Amino acid sequence: MDRTNRPFDGRLAERVRADEPRLDVAAVLRLPGMLSLPPERQRSYDQLNRVQVLGVDSEFFTFAEAPAAVALDPQTIAVNEKTARALEIKPGDDVVLRVMRPNRMPLDAPLASRNGQPAAVSVVTVAAVLTAGQLGRFSLSANQLEPYNVFADRSWLQGLAGEEGVANLLIAGGDVERGDAQRAMDRAWDLEDVGLRLRSHPSGVIQLESDSIFIDDEAVSAAREIAGSSPTLTYLVNSISHDGRMTPYSFVQAGPAPPGMESGEAVINQWVADELGAAPGDTLDVAYLKLLPNNTFVEQTRRFTVHSIASMEELAIERDLAPQFPGLSDVESCADWSIGMPMDESRLKDPANEAYWRKYGQTPKLVLCFDDARQMWANQFGSVTAVRFSGSGLDVAGVAERLRQNISGEKIGLDFVPVRELGRTAVSQSMDFGGLFLGMSLFLIIAALMLLGLLYVFGLQQRAPEIATLASLGFSPSRIRGIFLLESAPTTVAGAVLGAIGGTGYARLLLAGLARFWPAAVAGTPVSFHASAGTMAAGGGIAVGCAMVVVVAVLWRASRYSPRQLFATDFASVSTAPRRCNWLLVPPTAALVPAVGLSLGAWLTQPGSYALDFFAVGALMLLALLGYGWWLLSRLGSRQSFTRPRVWKLAVVNLTRRRGRTLSVAGLTACGCFLVFAVSSMQENVGLHASDRSSGTGGFAVFAETTIPVTGSPADAGATIRADAAPLRVRDGDDAGCLNLNRAQLPTVMSWVASF
């Protein structure tokens, strides 16, 4: 469950298991990370990015086929074989592990804390290398690629990441339907698990707040279903000014409006009224930063009319209920504020404001209507910073229960994803390389069968006098057939058996070589040899059958000739009588028309996959051209004359003497060429048109990916890599590109951050 990295209390696993004992549940802290060699061992390929760091407990390994007897101590890790290979590390080696800290709020959300390092680093010792059976390949994505996996003790990793007790992934297994597991989850989760908390104020107000500053829309709408609820939005504005006087960096509170206040009006507190000299009816200019979809802030200003002045005592409750912003609420002085918005250092040092902060803290200077605030400050992360509940008979436990009932665990990110099912679906809808290779090899198979047939035809033609002798000695046609079949069968059967054994041996060798020396050729897919007696028998049987059919056909044809003809002539050469052979144009034309039609159709409709059309058109064209060749040879054959000998006439005579042989050789050559051209024409140099927007690269020559998110504007990111850059926000998922041979089930989503 939870691909969104939402952290929750690791004990949720126990609560779910307690609710549904049949369920095996393990809590995992999964963090993106990097693994590198310590400086003294560094080489050019010393660092692995996009490492999946899994903080696990012993419960996790019970999911393994062959549970590893690995005790993960603090400061030690286990890696999978791929990681070990890539860094050439073995148990006992020291490596440097970097993990990204789990974040309850997006790093680039307004008001989000910028304090603290986004990543934590530690030198760890490799304790074990885990095989696939020991969950070394553990991956939640439907991709044949094995991730780089690092396994660490969960509580140690929690400590390293500075998030005690936190997990962000529950894996569940056991003899339980997904629905039952989800119901157990729905019963077991707490508001804290999804980063929500309730606070009660002595005045009787209960307030819902979120760890991620802005509350999920799902939670907001669940809260709004409870009677007596009202949303509030707290924001930090750059300045409030009136008549040339100004106070910087002020908290603004928007919520239930005082009776009679309308949109465009504001309540100011006594301190502001004194500081700015403003009275009801005066206008104020409020400057604030607005977050644009491209992650940049712009300063905007809006004018409000003072509706009334509130005393500081009246607003004391607002001070108490102001949401706690890390990096803001918890610092002594405004000068130490550090939040996800650009701030003017000199204004932060404004003495009057500093004094206000010391005396009144987060007490709002301005109170607006909620709708005005939402218009100005709603962004992709939400539009509500707290929901208040007031009314008789409300208590925290009651509200919590109502919220839990109203919030669907699935929508808020606490849903079990049937990864195995998704994986199965992905594989079942995967790229069918068998079909593709069969299409390719079809031409090879046809060529091989033609060769086989030719071999037998030639062999038998050579023995025409022998057939004639046997016939003249009183052997009936069926007896002659019997003799030749009896003679060919053992050789073809032996050949087929040898071919099957040799072929599988060669395939085995090829796969071993591919896996060992060139895994990139198969996109990292683990290739393994699989032979079934059935297919081998079928292959051999087809070869033997083909040979036998050829033998029978040739002998049947021979039996139509008298022994005299068999002695005298070579029965495969056709008569040179002039023929009305224009009807010979019909079959090849019948093959050409659909071939042209298919090509045109494919050109016009641009189907997703051309493979089938390609091979069908190829096969039809081959047939058509061979047919036209037959016609041409027939015409030439009937016109040969030696009145004026020319070398080319000799050639024509020889070509037309045995049209079957001529065309078989031509067909064989054509099959070979077709394969060579087909394979080489399907190669595409991606880099060639990389700067075209219409190419698969979208016009970008370079694609850089960071393990830990980079915040800031496109220009910032561009400055980092010294190029024009277009940042993308990525929601991790299955690779839908060509390196994933499976059908992506939950594809990676990249969203355009910049207006580029």
Contact residues for another protein, defined by CB under 8 A: 465-466, 468-479, 559, 562-565, 567, 575-578
Instruction: Rank residues 405 and 576 by Cβ distance to another protein and give the closer one.
Output: 576
Instruction: Rank residues 533 and 577 by Cβ distance to another protein and give the closer one.
Output: 577
Name the minimum Å distance from CB 571 to another protein.
14
What's the distance, CA 282 to chain centroid? 57
Closest CA to 89 of 130, 31, 137: 130
Q: How far is CA 605 from CA 294, 609, 693, in A?
A: 37, 11, 22
Paired residues of 289 in beta bridges: 299
Alpha-carbon gap, residue 329 to 361, rounded angstroms: 8
Instruction: Rank residues 477 and 587 by Cβ distance to another protein and give the closer one.
Output: 477
Name the minimum Å distance from CB 474 to another protein.
2
Instruction: Rank residues 379 and 576 by Cβ distance to another protein and give the closer one.
Output: 576
Name the minimum Å distance from CB 568 to another protein.
9
Q: How far is CA 511 from CA 426, 505, 517, in A?
A: 23, 10, 10
Name the minimum Å distance from CB 742 to another protein.
59
Name the minimum Å distance from CB 555 to another protein.
13
Alpha-carbon gap, residue 222 to 236, rounded angstroms: 26
- Give the three-class secondary structure for 360: helix
Alpha-carbon gap, residue 484 to 467, rounded angstroms: 9
What's the distance, CA 40 to chain centroid? 36
Alpha-carbon gap, residue 219 to 561, rounded angstroms: 91
Instruction: Rank residues 85 and 564 by Cβ distance to another protein and give the closer one.
Output: 564
Structural tokens at position 644: 């004026």
The radius of gyration of the chain's CA atoms, rounded to the nearest angstrom, is 39
Name the minimum Å distance from CB 567 to another protein.
8
- Residue 510 CB: number of other CB atoms within 10 A? 12
Q: How far is CA 338 from CA 117, 195, 251, 354, in A?
A: 13, 22, 15, 15
Instruction: Rank residues 201 and 479 by Cβ distance to another protein and give the closer one.
Output: 479
Name the minimum Å distance from CB 570 to another protein.
15
Instruction: Report angle CA 293, 294, 300 to the nearest 5 degrees.
Output: 70
Instruction: Rank residues 324 and 569 by Cβ distance to another protein and give the closer one.
Output: 569
CA dihedral 400, 402, 406, 407 (to 10 degrees): 10
Instruction: Rank residues 473 and 701 by Cβ distance to another protein and give the closer one.
Output: 473
Instruction: Rank residues 477 and 718 by Cβ distance to another protein and give the closer one.
Output: 477
Alpha-carbon gap, residue 19 to 71, rounded angstroms: 28
Closest CA to 433 of 741, 710, 688: 741
DSSP at 86: H
Alpha-carbon gap, residue 595 to 168, rounded angstroms: 56
Instruction: Rank residues 113 and 461 by Cβ distance to another protein and give the closer one.
Output: 461
Instruction: Rank residues 559 and 707 by Cβ distance to another protein and give the closer one.
Output: 559
Name the minimum Å distance from CB 660 to another protein.
20
Q: Specify the residue for token string 């005045």.
A: 203
Structural tokens at position 711: 């915040």
Instruction: Rank residues 567 and 628 by Cβ distance to another protein and give the closer one.
Output: 567
Name the minimum Å distance from CB 452 to another protein.
23
Name the minimum Å distance from CB 476 to another protein.
4
Name the minimum Å distance from CB 649 to another protein.
16
Structural tokens at position 630: 């037959």
Name the minimum Å distance from CB 490 to another protein.
16
Instruction: Tally the residues of the chain.
Output: 756
- Residue 668 CB: number of other CB atoms within 10 A? 16
Instruction: Rank residues 467 and 595 by Cβ distance to another protein and give the closer one.
Output: 467
Structural tokens at position 19: 């609710």
Name the minimum Å distance from CB 657 to another protein.
14
Q: How many CA atoms lie within 13 A of 369 on its CB side?
A: 14
Alpha-carbon gap, residue 93 to 443, rounded angstroms: 52
